[in-house]
């Protein structure tokens, strides 16, 4: 059948199972939005207050559901406003298809109104950026974009559609959805060598990264831990990839990881790294990382082997598939003394924040109460800063895809858009965004999206009138010179929320934590909870970027 480019796009989105797109209209995408109106019974459109939030919402939708997120923006500034969100998804390997409009083809390259070469701008932060030259190419380009976004190491793909292409007509022929390309399994010899390495280890430490969740491999990862009889640590991106109520779990590893994980790293004889890229926030001083052990790395991306740290054996492939091949080669191990050491380290170095007074509000108490009240199926998103680390340290994640955070790019402003996407994808689940003052100022206009779309997300702000993580570094390394890090101003976030049509409340003291959170979680509407905390609360443990991950700072002299 003959269809316009805009309608071909809609039909291809339906082919790919898309039910929701996030975006903001503009001149170059008016044909697309006219088609969205026609297809509104099949494809929901959520208009955010800013294009960056549309990209973050598509990202959050993908992380929460495991499907591919989709966002749309117009040309020029609309397209460039997506770039931070696209880069965020790229850094964390999130499948996304970003669709931009552009000026009509005769105007390309002439510095036309709202024209940028968005495919060139986004090439470094996408798996592929594809300009559509003719309407006859459009259907295959869309299909290729979804295929690429989900093949191998997942990530974002951008499609740029000139306005006249979306108006042209062409023959549309339906096609079935193409399955993602599967990575070939490791050789049998490599698997046998890995099995031998695992059987020889007396003090194994299992370390999981975001690839565990991306591959839906949490069950295989848990079976590996049980079969090896090994303690487990996870990266920031793997929170929820292993049940944190399991006695084997030691906490995060890295710059703000637990002392128990640091001790396990120092004393293990084999580190089994699964689906992780060994980021600088985990390694800190790479020269002093894992000095006393061998490393077995399992990852889908061959570029990650040896990039940041040398490894003794590599197994390339999809984590779920590799573990599926490896587990039958292993026999049940028992490491009672090693596991007793791990348990003792957890007792010796508990995670506990200290306040000055009995009624002081501490993030640890808030996060523990939130998790207890919201339950293990709740999805927590975060902005970036101290609050992000407090959420990772003190919340208890028992299921995958319940902690959505910007790990690689560290994007302030990510969380509220991601919460909008997560709640849209999983409407039956409780969704809470954890924020700080600085991040809240970056995306507070998205409260209008919550209100207009009636999306019942809880926005929880740890407000301390400062850029807390910046202040903490200035305290430690810049002589206490707090240059531009205080954000004491006249903003009343409760009144601001109410102006947007969002309910607001405040936790004033420790005894109010449970009552306020319970009311907020059960009100059935968008709600903001302001939670003032002390300006000089720190995120501890902490490893300086030049320090050894095995020797974290446990206390700071104020």
Positions marked catalytic: 51, 113-114, 163, 469
Tell me if 554 sits within 8 A of 541, measured CB to CB: yes
> Which residue is listed with tokens 């993908």?
62
**Residue among 10, 83, 26 nearest 413 (CA):** 83
Residue with structure tokens 């997560």?
422
Among 296, 328, 331, smallest CA distance to 199 is for 331
Counting other chains too, the contacts that 135-140 makes at CB distance below 8 Å and 24 or more residues apart are 135/4, 135/5, 135/8, 135/165, 135/166, 135/168, 135/169, 135/170, 136/170, 138/5, 138/8, 138/9, 138/12, 138/165, 138/170, 139/8, 139/11, 139/12, 139/172, 139/173, 139/175
- 403-404 β-sheet, strand order: 403-404, 379-382, 431-436, 458-463, 527-532, 503-506
Length of the chain: 558
- CA 485 – CA 471 distance, rounded (Å): 6
Q: How many CB atoms lie within 10 A of CB 544?
A: 15
* Lateral strand order in the sheet of 96-102: 44-47, 20-23, 69-73, 96-102, 156-162, 128-131
Q: Are strands 249-252 and 232-234 parallel, antiparallel or unpaired?
A: parallel
Tokens 């740890």 belong to which residue? 462
Are 243 and 221 in contact, with CB atoms under 8 Å apart?
no
Give the angle subtended at the CA of 244 by the CAs of 467 and 289, to the nearest 5°: 65
Residue 319 in contact with residue 300, Cβ under 8 Å?
yes
CA distance 227 to 196: 14
Alpha-carbon gap, residue 221 to 238, rounded angstroms: 11
Q: Report the relative pairing of strands 2-4 and 169-171 from DSSP bridges.
A: antiparallel
CA atoms within 13 A on the CB side of 115: 13
Q: Is 374 exposed, middle or buried (0-12, 13-18, 19+ CB in 10 A)?
A: buried
Report residue 360 CA to chain centroid gap. 30
> Alpha-carbon distance 411 to 431, whole Å?
19
Q: List, in sequence order, every residue forming a beta bridge with 504; answer none if it has no partner.
A: 528
Structural tokens at position 238? 């793997």
């Amino acid at each position: 059948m003959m269809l316009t480019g805009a309608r071909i796009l809609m039909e291809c989105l339906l082919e790919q199972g898309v039910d929701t797109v996030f975006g903001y209209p503009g001149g170059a995408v008016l044909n697309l939005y006219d088609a969205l109106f026609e297809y509104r019974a099949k494809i929901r459109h959520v208009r955010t207050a800013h294009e960056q939030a549309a990209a973050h919402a598509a990202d959050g939708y993908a992380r929460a559901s495991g499907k591919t997120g989709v966002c749309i923006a117009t040309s020029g500034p609309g397209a460039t406003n997506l770039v931070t969100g696209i880069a965020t998804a790229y850094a964390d390997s999130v499948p996304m298809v970003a669709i931009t409009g552009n000026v009509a083809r005769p105007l390309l390259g002439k510095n036309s109104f709202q024209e940028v070469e968005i495919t060139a701008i986004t090439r470094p932060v996408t798996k592929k950026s594809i300009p559509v030259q003719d309407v006859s190419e459009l259907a295959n380009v869309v299909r290729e974009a979804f295929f690429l976004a989900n093949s191998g190491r997942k990530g974002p793909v951008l499609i740029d559609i000139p306005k006249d292409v979306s108006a042209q007509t062409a023959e549309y022929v339906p096609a079935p959805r193409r399955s993602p390309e599967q990575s070939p399994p490791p050789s049998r010899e490599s698997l046998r060598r890995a099995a031998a390495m695992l059987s020889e280890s007396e003090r194994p430490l299992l370390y999981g990264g975001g690839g565990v969740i991306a591959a839906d491999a949490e069950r295989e990862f848990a079976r590996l831990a049980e079969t090896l009889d090994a303690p487990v640590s996870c990266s920031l991106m793997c929170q929820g990839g292993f049940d944190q109520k399991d006695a084997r779990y030691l906490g995060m590893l890295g710059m703000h990881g637990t002392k128990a994980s640091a001790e396990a790293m120092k004393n293990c004889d084999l580190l089994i790294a699964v689906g992780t890229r060994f980021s600088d926030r985990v390694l800190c001083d790479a020269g002093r990382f894992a000095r006393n052990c061998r490393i077995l790395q399992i990852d889908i991306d061959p570029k990650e082997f040896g990039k940041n740290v040398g490894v003794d054996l590599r197994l390339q492939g999809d984590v779920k598939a590799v573990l599926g091949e490896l587990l039958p080669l292993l026999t049940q191990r028992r490491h009672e003394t090693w596991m007793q050491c791990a348990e003792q380290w957890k007792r010796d170095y508990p995670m506990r924040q200290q306040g000055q007074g009995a009624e002081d509000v501490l993030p640890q108490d808030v996060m523990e109460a939130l998790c207890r009240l919201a339950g293990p199926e709740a999805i927590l998103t975060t902005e970036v800063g101290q609050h992000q680390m407090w959420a990772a340290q003190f919340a208890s994640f028992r299921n995958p895809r319940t902690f959505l955070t910007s790990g690689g790019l560290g994007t302030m402003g990510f969380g509220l858009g991601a919460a909008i996407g997560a709640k849209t994808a999983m409407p039956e689940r409780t969704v809470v965004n954890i924020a700080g003052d600085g991040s809240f100022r970056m995306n507070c206009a998205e409260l209008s999206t919550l209100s207009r779309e009636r999306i019942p997300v809880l926005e929880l702000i740890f407000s301390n009138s400062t850029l807390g993580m910046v202040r903490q570094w200035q305290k430690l390394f810049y002589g206490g010179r707090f240059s531009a890090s205080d954000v004491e101003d006249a903003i009343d976030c409760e009144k601001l929320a109410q102006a947007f049509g969002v309910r607001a409340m405040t936790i004033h003291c420790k005894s109010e934590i449970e009552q306020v959170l319970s009311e907020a979680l059960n009100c059935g509407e968008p709600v903001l909870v302001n939670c003032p905390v002390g300006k000089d609360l720190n995120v501890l443990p902490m490893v300086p970027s030049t320090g050894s991950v095995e020797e974290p700072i446990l206390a700071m002299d104020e």
